Structure 1
């Protein structure tokens, strides 16, 4: 269930690192407006994660609601990062990342990663480095260290595919239980609990 945060794991270096397919709606006769598209997804809740990386020039972190599992064998996940993010340049060259999967107890960290113009490693949220160098926040529900295996440009964002290498799970969730899950919905934070269960 938990792997040691001090055990280094080799990162595959022969995996494809960047794919440049342009997905900027070529040749379509009509397209949703940005406002209409945003309205669709404001009502579609997302789990909350904080992604950290360091490509050699110092650590970066950002909050994301785009993290999704893709495959268990091999263990793959995806997430997207806006080109406007202050972390985008580092993530464009980082070989590994740490994805922190948050619950409601981690709300302060989620807010920190979503706040622009602040030092996200000022000590207000305790953190350290793994022996492999990546920055990791302490006491979060779970984190997973991943090797970035592919990047794909998509509009004004980059979609990352990552292979899970190492994890730590602090607060497990029993099957069928809400587990104080942290959800972002309609521009606000929500906690899932017994009262949110409908089936």
Structure 2
């Protein structure tokens, strides 16, 4: 390798630095550094390992994080929209009547992978129209729609946790593994 666009060398009295910018995983391998001056020549072999983004996984791998990025049609740039530890996420703060595209970056213990293929363009709706669609639907209206009884005595379900006269309920002991009942990471 000679000094060029991807490789620069700098030499001091005590050390020599080789800087390879924009290296790829394919640059991994054995190299030999040859130093020459008026007194002679020195050859130094060395190994280079480039730790790049992990390849797309084959099969299942444990995710540590999922990052959702949005492409705004105005700017043409990918912007971080949300992160989650789970494979489901709600993306908030989207502007009404605007087009977006999304893609996902999966993060594993080895680092973030390449982004997935972007989604089709999604058009957000007018926020006022969506609010009007749900207006007037309180809890009782939703319960009637599902043929559930009307809530008539809220106090029956409510208690003041600071009430000193209230009898404390005993906790029910459960046996078995926590992993059977809950999703634990």
Does TM-score exceed 0.5, indicating one fold? no
> Which one scores higher on RCO, CA 8 angstroms, separation ≥ 6?
1
Bigger radius of gyration, 1 or 2? 2
Report the TM-score, using the length of structure 2 for normalisation. 0.23
